[in-house]
């Protein structure tokens, strides 16, 4: 797991984002356990409280469940929820792209053309 210490994104959010991506992409499957809170905190050299906050965020989103004495495991993900999570991620990324385009002075048509060109590129790039 990679954490950026100088990022504007809080450490707990970075941890939650990486686990969320692993769950939504299928790298972590239903029933898989997340690393122990203490173990992950020690490995990343961060506070146990920070790790706990990340796990609680994932639990609030319904991605994981806490089991007393065992830790957190990945919940079953239904297709509709997965699609909604991916759509939310796409919307966030596009909103960021629109903001950057406005700062750069691009017109809506220039941004649309750029998106079309990127969509036409092969997936393996």
Q: Percentage of residues in the chain with pLDDT exceeding 70?
A: 98
Q: What's the pLDDT at 84?
A: 80
Residue matched to tokens 């385009």: 101
CATH class given for the domain over 11-74: mainly alpha
The string of pLDDT tens digits covering residues 36-82 is 999 999 999 999 999 999 999 999 988 999 999 899 999 887 677 77
Higher pLDDT, 25 or 113: 113
pLDDT, position 124: 64
DSSP-derived secondary structure for 44-67: HT--HHHHHHHHHHHHHTTSEEEE
């Amino acid at each position: 797991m990679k954490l950026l210490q100088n990022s504007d994104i809080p450490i707990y959010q970075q941890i939650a984002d990486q686990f969320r991506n692993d769950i939504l992409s299928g790298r972590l499957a239903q029933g898989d356990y997340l690393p122990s809170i203490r173990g992950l905190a020690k490995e990343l050299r961060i506070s146990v409280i920070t790790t706990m906050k990340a796990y609680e965020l994932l639990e609030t989103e319904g991605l994981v469940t806490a089991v007393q004495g065992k830790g957190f495991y990945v919940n079953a993900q239904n297709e509709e929820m997965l699609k909604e999570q991916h759509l939310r991620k796409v919307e966030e990324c596009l909103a960021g792209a629109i903001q950057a385009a406005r700062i750069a002075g691009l017109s809506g048509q220039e941004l649309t053309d750029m998106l079309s060109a990127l969509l036409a590129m092969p997936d393996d790039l």
